[in-house]
């Protein structure tokens, strides 16, 4: 993965729509050295948090299909080549190219075909990420808009504020944080469900930003609350440190 690729992954990173933990870790390393991308991640996270607490309506299938069709159809402009045919004085057509020029042209055509294939694969990957991001945003909106949604807000460590939304009818929960200090280098904030004292993984918070909105993974109804710990990049199957914050599930 090149630095140029990493510049394009900020949106998917904020929405937790990256394919692998390796991609997430690569983006986090990149954010430590790229002020522009770090600034973009902060702005996108703040916008996502605001949108997450607003009314939302799922995108229509027709609009989604059209966006994905256009993404897959965008092609790079062909390069300008220095080869051109020359007409003879008698107008008898193009000058015959020597064998080495024909070979070079063929090699160039093969190279361009390979580049086009890579671009198409990247477009398809971008489409899949957009679909995952859309599904996550739709699920967040559904939890926030549920008729039985319960909301609680608490002051966390270092002046941060956490908001927990639980929709029993959907068996899902959403956690939004504002003002969270950055975790130590090489670590992430991990969310956990508290199942009668047993901590169950519930997902990773977006790193490199003070504000984030996270759709918690897995069923929420059987949990008494949530906890937040600092874990190695990529997360852990069980907590390896004491919680930096805890919240109880909001009551009706």
pLDDT 10s digits, 128-164:
777 777 777 888 888 888 999 999 998 887 788 989 9
Question: Which residues pair with residue 152 across a beta bridge?
Answer: 164
The pLDDT assigned to 226 comes to: 95
With beta carbons less than 8 A apart as the criterion, state whether 221 and 168 touch: yes
How many angstroms separate the CA atoms of 80 and 34, rounded? 32
Q: 88 falls in which pLDDT band (50, 70, 90)?
A: very low
Determine how many CB atoms are found less than 10 A away from the CB of residue 117: 10
pLDDT of residue 67 exceeding 90:
no
Beta strands in the chain (DSSP E): 150-155, 161-167, 172-178, 187-195, 198-204, 212-215, 225-232, 245-248
The pLDDT assigned to 209 comes to: 77
The pLDDT assigned to 91 comes to: 43
Mean pLDDT within 168-186: 91
């Amino acid at each position: 993965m090149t630095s140029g690729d990493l510049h394009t992954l900020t949106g998917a990173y904020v929405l937790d729509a990256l394919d692998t933990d390796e991609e997430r870790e690569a983006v986090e390393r990149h954010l430590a050295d790229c002020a522009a991308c770090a600034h973009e991640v902060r702005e996108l996270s703040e916008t996502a948090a605001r949108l997450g607490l607003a009314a939302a309506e799922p995108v229509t299938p027709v609009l989604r299909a059209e966006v994905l069709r256009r993404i897959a159809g965008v092609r790079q402009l062909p390069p300008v080549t220095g080869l051109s045919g020359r007409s003879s004085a008698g107008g008898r057509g193009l000058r015959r190219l020597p064998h080495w020029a024909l070979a070079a042209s063929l090699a160039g055509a093969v190279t361009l075909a390979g580049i086009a294939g890579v671009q198409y694969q990247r477009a398809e990957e971008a489409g899949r990420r957009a679909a995952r991001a859309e599904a996550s945003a739709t699920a967040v909106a559904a939890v926030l808009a549920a008729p039985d949604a319960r909301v609680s807000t608490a002051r966390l460590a270092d002046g941060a504020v956490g908001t927990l939304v639980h929709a029993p009818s959907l068996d899902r929960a959403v956690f939004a944080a504002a003002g969270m200090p950055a975790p130590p280098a090489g670590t992430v904030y991990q969310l956990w469900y508290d199942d009668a004292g047993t901590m169950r993984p519930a997902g990773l918070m977006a790193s490199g930003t003070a504000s984030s909105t996270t759709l918690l993974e897995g069923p929420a109804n059987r949990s008494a609350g949530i906890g937040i710990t600092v874990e190695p990049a990529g997360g852990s199957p069980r907590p390896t440190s004491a919680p930096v914050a805890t919240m109880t599930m909001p009551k009706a």
